[in-house]
Amino acid sequence: MDERGAAREASHAGWTRWIVAGPPTAFLLAFFLVPALIVVAASFREPGEFGGLVPLAGGLGAALSLEAYRFLFGDLVYAQIFAASFAVAAATTFICIVMAYPLAWLIARSPRKRRDLLVLLVILPFASNFLVRIYAWIMLLGPVNLLYTPFAVIAGMVYVHLPFMVLPLYTNLEKHDPALLEAAQDLGASAWTRFWRVTFPLSLPGIFSGSALVFIPVLGMFAVPELLGGTGDILIGNLIKEQFLDNRDWPLGSALSIGLTIAVLAFAGLAALGARRGLKGTEAVS
Amino acid sequence: MEWRVGTVPWNGRRPVFPLPMALLEIREVTRRFGALAAVDRVSLAIEAGEFFTLLGPSGCGKTTLLRMIAGFDEPDEGALFLDGKPLAGIAPEKRPVHTVFQSYALFPHMTVSGNIAFPLEMAKRSRQEISERVRETLALVHLEDRGEAYPHELSGGQKQRVALARGLVNRPRLLLLDEPLGALDAKLRQEMQVELINLQRDVGVTFVFVTHAQQEALALSHRIAVMNKGRVEQLDTPDRLYTAPANRFVADFVGRINLIEAEVVSGPHGHPGLRAAALGELAAELGPGVKAGERGMLALRPELVRVTEHLEALELRNRFAGRVKELLYVGEVTHYKVQLEAGFVIEALLPNAAPGRARLFKAGDAVAVGWRHDAGVFLRG
């Protein structure tokens, strides 16, 4: 190809790229970035008397304040709720890993024809309404006196998020080359050693993506603790919901949201850093 | 080296082991998949220090046999013995047998050193011994400076060397190699062949090599078992396989060959001779016990067929006039197919460097071909 041809090709490629990337980019700018900025702005405003915000027209002094943040950092209870939410998210993620791993492994090891059916069964619960499924847990846990306990919250969280752990793990395990396990066995590794030295390290990328898909939504989830948890099981998600819908303190709700976002980003950043360090070589399979 | 199942004098019964004891003995082993016998009553003995090759087309059972030696499969009938002890029921991880896989199967999440250390760690060697052995083995395969690299950062030849190093580092009694050079390009393949020969000689580990590439088998092995449809067709040294194939399959599979259908007839001086349907009477040296009336074929290697311009120039009893039908120039030699006037197409191979061979024939040239009476091998059946 001559230089002009290459240039034409390049400009053509740029043009197609915009056609393809344009609409989703515009969508994300309009409905994700702008609302996020509105939330940031709202956290520095004064709450309106009946919800909403004090209008800026009444003078900036009356409308802008750091009150929400002063409130947030002024009371230890918010830090405690953050910590409790992280604990619930961590526990849920861990239980999901332990439960999803054997399931994903079995699906990945089953005959190719049956795998699609099994994966379908894993995602089948999504076919019914989320709230209906949570209400079903109320029916199940009520008679055995486990309703409105931390156990109920974790059980509900695990139930809702398990497929998000199974699918990435399955996708990862399915791609493992069986020759690697044969090689390990041939070189003297027992079944247990083969798992811990070959299968498990190679499945870390799957565990990491599954964990991100479970941990982050659990952190912000309010429906499960609201329906299954007791009064002591309030999490950040509930707190934010309350500020907007019940307390009508939008600035505090916004500040809490921003706190949650920063915590999630920090967590995701750390996880990515850890993943990059721990996963050298595993990219080849995943 | 001759292998016989001897008779022990003290009670006259068949002994438990062939004498002297082989490193690996495969005795009457059969493995069926459904109705198909992938390995069919195979018996062979592999000696310590040998470079032994299982050669055959795909589906001949060589890989199934290899997997039974490694322990990934068990025979339906018969048994395998390593150092005289039966291998039945011993798991692959408990056998002192390591494999170099066709796909290498290097652990992608471990460095080159990590891969090579793996079998030593499994054998619970001390940390110090592991690091020493890994260093030695890296040097053995010329990868001293690649110890910290990950497999995906290596070239095909380097991966191959790591796989070899990993298989050899814990000094197995037997190293199985499953078409390990299959993924390499021709030039690299040849280099690796030389390295494999040197490596096997240096470390003294017994190699069992599986391949469908006959040239590779000839180049590398001390002995070769040619397999077809689950059976061993011939077990011999490379030169014996090439110059004295036992049957039509071996003759055809190992190297290129002319097969001339012929019947044994009584020759002019009482010696039996051959009469080929296509070519008439042929002068040939027949093996002992071949009688007139037997049918079979003369197997004749192309490089033993001479080609000249004039029939008279060939002072040979077997000489025929013909015309070059097609030719394939591959550099050091040229393959010719010559259409004989008698109707048969014979293949000949001429070196391009030999003195007096300055002239390359062209397609359509009138030529004469001939071969010595002792050039071919008569195969019955």
Which residues in chain A touch residue B148, judged by CB atoms under 8 angstroms apart? none
In the block, residue with structure tokens 């062979």: B44
Tokens of B132: 């020493």
Residue B10 has pLDDT above 90, yes or no: no
Q: What pLDDT score was predicted for residue B267? A: 67
Report the percent of chain A where pLDDT is more than 70.
90
Q: Do A281 and B118 touch (CB under 8 A)?
A: no
Q: Do A180 and B107 touch (CB under 8 A)?
A: yes
Which residues in chain B touch residue A280, judged by CB atoms under 8 angstroms apart? 109, 150
Tokens of A21: 């990337």
Alpha carbon separation from B228 to A133, B180, B235, B260, B296 (Å, rounded)? 62, 20, 12, 22, 20
CA distance A224 to A57: 40
Q: Do A186 and B70 touch (CB under 8 A)?
A: yes
Q: Are the beta carbons of B133 and B120 closer than 8 angstroms?
A: yes
Residue of B nearest to A185 (CA): B93
Q: Do B105 and A182 touch (CB under 8 A)?
A: yes
CA distance A97 to A173: 13
Q: Which residues of B285-323 are buried (b: 16+ CB within 10 A; e: fewer)?
A: bbeeebeeebebbbbbbbbbbbbbeebeebebebbbebe
Residue A284 has pLDDT above 90, yes or no: no
CA distance A78 to B326: 90
| Greater pLDDT, B223 or A76 | B223
Per-domain residue ranges of chain A: 3-63, 75-284
Q: Do A182 and B152 touch (CB under 8 A)?
A: no
Tokens of A204: 């870390």
Contacts of A152 (CB under 8 A, 6+ apart): A137, A141, A146, A228, A229
The C-alpha of A9 sits at a distance from chain B's nearest C-alpha, in angstroms, of: 32
Tokens of B106: 């290097």
Structural domains in chain B, sorted by start: 24-245 (3.40.50.300), 256-380 (2.40.50.100)
Q: What pLDDT score was predicted for residue B2? A: 39
Report the percent of chain B where pLDDT is more than 90.
66
Q: Give kind and range of the element (H or E) at residue A11.
A: helix A3-28
Considering the domain A75-284 in this protein, what is its CATH number? 1.10.3720.10
SS3 string of A42-58? HCCECECECECECCHHH
| Best CA proximity match to A228, nearest among A92, A73, A86 | A92
CA distance A219 to A213: 11
| Best CA proximity match to B87, nearest among B99, B100, B104, B73 | B73
> Across the interface, which of A188, A282, A285 has its CB nearest the CB of B123?
A188
Tokens of B66: 């290899």
Confidence of residue A4 (pLDDT cuts 50, 70, 90): low
Q: Are the beta carbons of B181 and B193 closer than 8 angstroms?
A: yes
Q: What pLDDT score was predicted for residue B372? A: 92
Q: What ipTM did this prediction achieve?
A: 0.84
Q: Are the beta carbons of A270 and A262 closer than 8 angstroms?
A: no
The C-alpha of A186 sits at a distance from chain B's nearest C-alpha, in angstroms, of: 5
Q: What pLDDT score was predicted for residue B3? A: 40
Report chain B's mean pLDDT, rounded to a whole number.
88
Lowest-confidence pick of A51-55, B10-14, B59-63:
B10-14
The C-alpha of B83 sits at a distance from chain A's nearest C-alpha, in angstroms, of: 19
Q: Do A279 and B118 touch (CB under 8 A)?
A: no
Helix (H, G, I), strand (E, B), or coil: what is residue B260? strand
Which residues in chain B touch residue A180, judged by CB atoms under 8 angstroms apart? 105, 107-108
Alpha carbon separation from A187 to B46, B71, B105, B132, B176 (Å, rounded)? 21, 12, 11, 19, 12
Q: What pLDDT score was predicted for residue A285? A: 44
Report the percent of chain A where pLDDT is more than 90.
35
Which residues in chain A touch residue B119, judged by CB atoms under 8 angstroms apart? 187-188
pLDDT (tens digit, 9 = 90+) per residue, B33-89? Answer: 999 999 999 999 999 999 999 999 999 999 999 999 999 999 999 999 999 999 999
Q: Do B105 and A281 touch (CB under 8 A)?
A: no
CA distance B79 to B89: 11
Q: Do A188 and B152 touch (CB under 8 A)?
A: no
Residue B380 has pLDDT above 70, yes or no: yes
Q: Are the beta carbons of B144 and B151 closer than 8 angstroms?
A: no
| Best CA proximity match to B287, nearest among B243, B330, B327, B222 | B243
Q: Do A187 and B110 touch (CB under 8 A)?
A: no
The C-alpha of A257 sits at a distance from chain B's nearest C-alpha, in angstroms, of: 39
Q: Which of B63, B87, B93, B109 to mutate to test the interface with A (most CBs of A within 10 A)?
A: B109
Three-point CA angle B299, B366, B351, nearest 5° = 55
Report strand pairing: B366-371 vs B318-329.
antiparallel
Q: Do A182 and B101 touch (CB under 8 A)?
A: yes
Confidence of residue B9 (pLDDT cuts 50, 70, 90): very low
Q: Are the beta carbons of B81 and B16 closer than 8 angstroms?
A: no
pLDDT (tens digit, 9 = 90+) per residue, A167-192? Answer: 999 999 999 999 999 999 999 999 99
pLDDT (tens digit, 9 = 90+) per residue, B307-337? Answer: 988 888 888 889 999 999 999 988 888 899 9
Q: Do B103 and A283 touch (CB under 8 A)?
A: no
Q: What pLDDT score was predicted for residue B269? A: 67
Confidence of residue A278 (pLDDT cuts 50, 70, 90): low
Contacts of B334 (CB under 8 A, 6+ apart): B327, B328, B349, B350, B352, B360
Q: Do A183 and B170 touch (CB under 8 A)?
A: no
Q: How many residues does chain A have?
A: 286
Q: Report, as an integer, the average pLDDT of A201-227.
A: 89
Q: Which of A99-103, A231-235, B352-356 has the highest mean pLDDT?
A: A99-103
| Best CA proximity match to B130, nearest among B144, B142, B115 | B115
Which residues in chain A touch residue B71, judged by CB atoms under 8 angstroms apart? 186
A contact residues 148-207, partner B, Cβ 8 Å cutoff: 177, 179-180, 182-190, 193, 197-198, 201-202
Residue A272 has pLDDT above 90, yes or no: no
CA distance A63 to A154: 41
Alpha carbon separation from A174 to A198, A201, A211, B288 (Å, rounded)? 14, 14, 18, 61
